[in-house]
A and B are shown apart, each in its own frame.
Chain A
Amino acid sequence: MLHHPAHLGYALIVCLMIFIAFPCTARAQTRAANHFLGVLSPYSGRLTLGDRLATHGFISQGFLWSSGNNYLAQSKKGSFEFTEVGLSIAADLGGGFTAGIQFFSRDLGPTGGYTPQVDWAYLGYKWRDWLGIRLGRVKIPFGLYNEMSDIDAARVPILLPQSIYQIENRQFLLAQTGAEISGIIPLARAGELEYSAYAGTLYTDISSTPNINSLHVPYLAGGRLLWRTPLKGFTFGSSALAGELESNATLSQKQIDTFAASGVLFPSGFDGKIENTVSAVFVAASAEYVRGGLLVAAEYSRRYIENTSSVPATIPKAKTTNEKAYLMASYEFLEWFTGGIYYSIDFKDIDLRSHFDKTQHDLAATLRFNVGAHFVLKIEGHYLNGTAVLSPALNDNRPNSESKKNWALLLTKATVTF
Chain B
Amino acid sequence: MLRFALGILPLFAWHIMAVPQKTVASENAVQVIVHPDLNADDISIDDLRNIFLRRKTLWPNGVQISPMAQHPNSPARHYFDKHIFNRSPMALRAYWNQQIFSGRQLPPPERLNDKEVIDFVSATPGAIGYILMITDPGTTHVVLTFK
Contacts and interface: CB of A to CB of B under 8 A. Distances in A.
B109 A51 contact: yes
Contacts, number: 165
A88 B104 contact: no
Nearest to B1: A114
B36 interface: no
Interface residues on B, range: 35 or more
Q: Which of A43, A120, A153 has the most CB of B within 10 A?
A: A43
B81 interface: no
B130 to A, nearest CB: 15
A119 B100 CA distance: 12
Contacts of A358: none
Q: Which of B18, B22, B56, B86 has the most CB of A within 10 A?
A: B18
Contacts of B104: 147
Most chain A beta carbons < 10 A, residue from B89, B95, B110, B112: B110
Given A27-B21, A44-B72, A332-B88, A87 B8 contact: yes
Interface string B93-106: 11101101111101
Contacts of B134: none
A102 B109 contact: no
Contacts of B101: 56, 58, 86, 88, 102, 148, 150-151, 153-154
A8 B97 CA distance: 28
- Could you say which of A20, A126, A155 has the most chain B C-beta atoms within 10 Å of its C-beta? A20
B91 A332 contact: yes
A292 B87 contact: yes
A126 B15 contact: no
Interface string A355-388: 0000000000000001001100000000000000
Contact of A9 (B1, B91, B100, B102): B1
Interface of B: 1-2, 4-5, 8-9, 11-12, 14-22, 55-58, 64, 71-72, 86-91, 93-95, 97-98, 100-104, 106, 109-112
8 contacts: A23-B16, A30-B17, A42-B17, A48-B109, A56-B100, A86-B101, A90-B100, A105-B1
Given A42-B14, A57-B11, A116-B4, 11 more contacts: A8-B2, A29-B17, A45-B15, A45-B18, A85-B4, A85-B8, A87-B8, A102-B103, A139-B103, A154-B94, A335-B88
